[in-house]
Structures are given as structure tokens and as C-alpha cells.
């Protein structure tokens, strides 16, 4: 009888231990990103910005603008695109949708999990008058920090290479523009979490600056990285009278 009671107690102990192990295992298992609600944003960050190919003639003699609603999964793959505000030209709308579908959104990270994203992207398409005699010129990523680098002045951090940015002068809409931004740097020296502190007043221009910074390599002194947690600031001043000719 005693032997039977002992065996029963031992079996119960093993069963409880196994149940506890399963419960602990369940608690320790990482939460799947697909179970988290989508990150909603009005300012999408892109890993690969939409590449739009269209002819000036497609604009039919006027500037065009559109707003697209974009959904992407936790890998950044675009899963749905809807035209929120149309250009007024179905052919252009279709080109925009196709370009966005082939682009790649930068996944949002929350508590170590990559989650899906839903946001909006604005496009401004400028009609170029062929009779306009104004010389075409382009602005590049000539930020305050980058310009100091080129003159060997002391800087809090260094861009390994000049970020790629090509902004035609007509995108400034006839005014000087200033974009102030900050970003963090991970242990691999990549720019992350880019934020616009002061926008230019033109959403498309701000988006191009953010895209230029995405995954840009930066050198930061170890002491600064440790104490400042590598939150860095910079700005770009787009001046109408200072533009590089093509």
C-alpha cells in the first residue's frame, strides 16, 4: 500500500513539473510580430523609396499631387496600396501604385519585434515648362556637418560617404528651405530612427532627406556614442541662389 501511495505521489509530482515547464516555456516564448497591431504613421520610412518613371507630357501641362495609403508587413514588403487623393490622371495614379508596390518600407520595431506598418506617402509631380529658360540645377546632401567635414573642421560625427540626395531647384517652390533632423546610430554605425525636427514645409522634400539618411554609415567617437547614446543632429539649408548646375 505504501508503495502504491509513493508511486502515485511521484507520478503527480512529475505531472506538475511537466505542466510548470510547459507554462514557463509558453511565458518565455517570444511574441510573434504578426500578433501585434500594425504601426500607424503619417510619415513612412523607406528602405527602398518608390522609383517612379513618367514623362513630362503625362502631367498634361500642370503640376500633379497624390496621397497613397500604404500597408506593409513586418518584413517591409508592401501588401496593399490605395489612392487616397488622386492626381486627376488615372495613368499617373496607376504608375504611382505600381512604383509603391515594388518599393520596400523600413519595418517598425517595437520591444524587439518587427511589426506591420500602415501609413501615407505624398507625391508631388512638377510639370517642367520646356520654354522655361531657367538653368536646371540640383541640390545634394550638403548638410552643415558634411560641409564642415569637407573643410577638415571639427565635427561631432562623420559621414563615411555623402548620403545620396538629388533635389531639383523647382521642388523648393520658389523659397529657401531648411530641414533640421536627428537620428540615432546602432552598433554597426548605421543611421536609424531618423526624425525631422523642423520640416521644410514640403512633405516630399522632407521624405527625400529621410530616405537619404536611411542606413547611411556614420563614424561616431566611442566616448560620444557611450554618453550621448549616439543621438546626432544635423541640418540642410536649400538656398535658391546656391545650386549646382547639371
CATH of the domain at 54: 3.30.1150
Instruction: Look at residue 25 in the predicted model and tell me its pLDDT.
Output: 42
User: In terms of residue numbers, what domain contains 64?
Assistant: 37-123
Quick one: average pLDDT of 36-61?
A: 86
Per residue in 197-224, pLDDT (tens digit) is 999 999 889 999 999 998 799 998 766 5
- The answer on 161 and 93 residing in a single domain is no
| End residue of a domain, out of 123, 150, 169 | 123
Domain membership of residue 246 (yes or no) is: no
Structural domain total, the chain: 2
Quick one: average pLDDT of 62-75?
A: 93
Instruction: Look at residue 99 in the predicted model and tell me its pLDDT.
Output: 94
- What is the model's pTM? 0.53
The closest alpha carbon to 184, from 105, 238, 109, 75, belongs to 109
- The answer on 150 and 101 residing in a single domain is no
| End residue of a domain, out of 123, 151, 175 | 123
Domain membership of residue 28 (yes or no) is: no
Instruction: Look at residue 9 in the predicted model and tell me its pLDDT.
Output: 43
pLDDT range class, residue 245, cuts 50, 70, 90: low
Domain membership of residue 106 (yes or no) is: yes
For residue 165, pLDDT beyond 90: yes
Quick one: average pLDDT of 25-33?
A: 42
String of DSSP letters for the chain: -HHHHHHHHHHHHHHHHHHHHHHHHHHHSPPPGGGSPPEEESS--EEE-------GGGGTTS-EEEEEEEEE-TTSBEEEEEEEE--S-HHHHHHHHHHHHTSEE--EEETTEEE-EEEEEEEEE----TT--SPPEEE----HHHHHHHTT---SSEESSPPP--EEGGGGTTS-EEEEEEEEE-TTSBEEEEEEEE--S-HHHHHHHHHHHTT-BEE--HHHHHHHTTEEEEEEEE-TT--EE-
Q: Which residues pair with 123 in a beta bridge?
A: 66
- The answer on 203 and 167 residing in a single domain is yes
Domain membership of residue 59 (yes or no) is: yes
Amino acid at each position: 500500500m505504501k508503495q502504491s501511495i509513493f508511486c502515485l505521489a511521484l507520478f503527480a509530482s512529475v505531472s506538475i513539473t511537466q505542466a510548470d515547464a510547459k507554462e514557463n516555456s509558453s511565458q518565455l516564448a517570444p511574441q510573434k510580430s504578426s500578433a501585434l497591431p500594425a504601426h500607424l504613421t503619417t510619415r513612412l520610412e523607406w528602405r527602398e523609396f518608390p522609383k517612379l518613371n513618367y514623362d513630362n507630357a503625362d502631367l498634361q501641362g500642370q503640376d500633379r499631387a497624390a496621397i497613397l495609403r500604404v500597408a506593409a508587413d513586418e518584413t517591409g514588403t508592401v501588401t496593399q496600396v490605395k489612392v487616397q487623393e488622386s492626381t486627376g490622371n488615372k495613368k499617373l495614379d496607376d504608375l504611382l501604385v505600381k512604383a509603391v508596390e515594388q518599393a520596400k518600407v523600413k519595418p517598425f520595431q517595437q520591444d524587439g519585434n518587427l511589426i506591420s506598418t500602415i501609413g501615407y506617402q505624398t507625391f508631388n509631380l512638377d510639370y517642367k515648362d520646356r520654354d522655361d529658360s531657367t538653368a536646371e540645377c540640383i541640390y545634394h546632401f550638403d548638410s552643415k556637418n558634411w560641409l564642415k567635414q569637407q573643410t577638415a573642421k571639427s565635427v561631432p560625427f562623420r559621414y563615411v560617404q555623402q548620403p545620396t540626395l538629388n533635389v531639383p531647384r523647382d521642388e523648393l517652390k520658389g523659397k529657401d528651405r531648411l530641414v533640421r533632423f536627428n537620428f540615432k546610430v546602432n552598433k554597426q554605425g548605421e543611421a536609424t530612427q531618423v526624425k525631422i525636427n523642423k520640416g521644410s514645409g514640403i512633405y516630399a522634400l522632407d521624405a527625400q532627406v529621410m530616405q537619404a539618411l536611411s542606413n547611411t554609415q556614420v563614424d561616431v567617437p566611442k566616448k560620444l556614442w557611450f554618453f550621448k547614446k549616439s543621438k546626432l543632429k544635423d541640418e540642410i539649408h536649400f538656398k535658391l541662389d546656391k545650386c549646382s548646375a547639371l
